[in-house]
Structure 1
Amino acid sequence: MSTRPSHKPFRPRKAPAQSRSEATVTSIIEAAAQVLESEGFEGFNTNAVARRAGVSIGSLYQYFPGKDALTVALIHRENRRFHEDASGALTKRSGRAALEYLIGAAVRQQLQRPMLARLLDIAEGRPALRGEVAKSEMEELVAIVVGRAAPKHPRPDVAAGDLLAMVRGMVDAAGERGERDLDDLERRVRAAVFGYLSRSGNA
């Protein structure tokens, strides 16, 4: 009777305990991003990532059991960076300014490293990875911002879900088309978002 490995295949084997090991993990994850950008899924494997990071394959396996664990770690890193940027919306004085800032953060995430963003979007859609990538923090942030921008909306939770889907759909489509003009995309997303809100007299 076979036994399953004790570690989860999509999660790191261990957390770095010292600054040197933290730097190693950081370099491995960035190397994973670079390999994915340059080689796509076809060339994305642990050997290629170890070479790019300048570490042995054994060192990589100390932290990551395979390429799926690397993918999840990379998704977590990008989501964390996006949330840190998007959280700046909460410092804005008006609800409209907060929503505009949130839109800008979404556009920046998609178009600053467009190939990486597109490939991670595909990876996130894999059924096996869905339970490993939580969206609750981002959804909560969007709900707060929409609540400020549209305080009179009769169903703010529905509005938040609609706007999140709208923004994701537009920025993902722009990334797939290879767009590079952040300002133009931001203007179009703002028009769509505030047009939606104005239907209820909330913009």
Structure 2
Amino acid sequence: MEGAARVLEERGLDGYTTNAVAERAGVSIGSVYQYFPGKDALTAALVARETALLIEAVRAAPSAATPEDGFRRIVQACVAHQMARPRLALLLDREESRLQLADTLGSVAGDLTTALLALLALLALLGAGLPAEPETAAGDLFALVRGMVDAAGERGERDGEALERRVLRAVHGYLGLPQAVA
């Protein structure tokens, strides 16, 4: 898997072949095909591997001390996912769309939406008010965070802290919360 990630980062989509992955991993092409029927299956497994840490962090967000801290954790996890290996994240985003990996995308979206709904409910319990349609608000927040983080990745941004601050300002603004202290 790491060989596949490195080939994709170093050679891009044009140089990302099962032969190149096998060479980078130091195994025979037959060994690659023993585990993956083709490049697309290898890519799907790589997407799942790369999103696992993001999903774990998102699932933990509702247990934060405050809803605001929970939103911060989600934003930090999304930014960290994008910034840890920016070229890989960008190329895998493109491949997710091309391969229509509904299971992986659905899992991330579902987990993120569940976490956002839990945080919105916590805000309501604390008297901050719950949006009239929490599911719509959670979907909007998901789109806002993903859109800003993905766009930053496409522009080649590398300052994760600045991106976190911008995304948190947008989240807080959407929810009508006081702006987070930088």
TM-score range, shorter chain: 0.7 to 0.9
Question: How many angstroms apart in 2 are the aligned matches of 1:182 and 1:149?
Answer: 26
- CA-atom RMSD, angstroms? 1.9
Unaligned runs of 5+ in 1: 1-28
Contact 2:5-2:46 at 8 Å conserved across structures: yes
Of the three residues 35, 48, 57, the one matched with 1:63 is 35
Provide the residue aligned with 1:15 in structure 2. none
> What is the distance in 2 between the residues matched to 1:141 and 1:77?
20
2 CA distance for matches of 1:178 and 1:57? 33
Q: Which has the larger radius of gyration?
A: 1
Given the alignment, which residue of 121, 128, 144 partners 1:147?
A: 121
Q: Structure 1-normalised TM-score?
A: 0.79
Change (3 A) 1:56 1:149: farther
Instruction: Write the distance in 1 (CA, Å) between the matches of 2:91 and 2:147.
Output: 15
Q: Which residue of 1 aligns with 2:59?
A: 87
**For the structure 1 residues 145 and 54, does the alpha-carbon distance in structure 2 shift closer, same or farther, using more than 3 Å as the test?**
farther
Instruction: Decide whether aligned partners of structure 1 residues 73 and 95 sit closer, same or farther in structure 2, where only a CA change above 3 A counts.
Output: same
Q: Which residue of 2 aligns with 1:189?
A: 167
| Mean Cα deviation higher: 83-92 or 189-198 | 83-92
Partner of 1:129: 100
Distance 2:44 2:123 in 1: 33
**1:159-178 map, 5 Å:** 159-178=137-156
- Determine if contact 2:90/2:153 at 8 Å carries over to the other structure: yes
**Residues 1:152 and 1:141: Cα distance change in structure 2 (over 3 Å):** closer
Task: Give the Cα separation in 2 of the matches to 1:132 and 1:195.
Answer: 31
The unaligned stretches of length 5 or more in structure 2 are none
Deviations 1:18-39 (A, max 9, x none): xxxxxxxxxxx11111111111
**SS at 2:16's partner residue?**
coil
Q: Distance in 1 between matches of 2:102 and 2:164?
A: 30
**CA displacement at 1:152 relative to structure 2:** 1.9
Partner Cα separation in structure 1 for residue 120 and residue 21 of structure 2: 40
**Map of 1:49 onto structure 2:** 21
* Contact 1:98/1:149, CA 8 A, preserved across alignment: no
TM-score (norm 2): 0.87
How far does the alpha carbon of each residue in 1:21-76 deviate from its partner, in whole angstroms, 9 at most, with x for none?
xxxxxxxx111111111111000010111111111111111110111001100111
Once the two structures are overlaid, the 10-residue window that deviates more, 181-190 or 142-151, is 142-151
Question: Distance in 2 between the 1:197 and 1:162 partners?
Answer: 10
Indicate the percent of aligned positions where both proteins have the same amino acid. Answer: 49
Structure with higher helix content: 2
Q: Report the number of matched residues.
A: 172
Rounded to whole Å, the distance in 1 between the matches of 2:162 and 2:44 is 31
Structure 1 residue matching 2:13: 3-state secondary structure: coil
- Name the counterpart of 2:134: 156
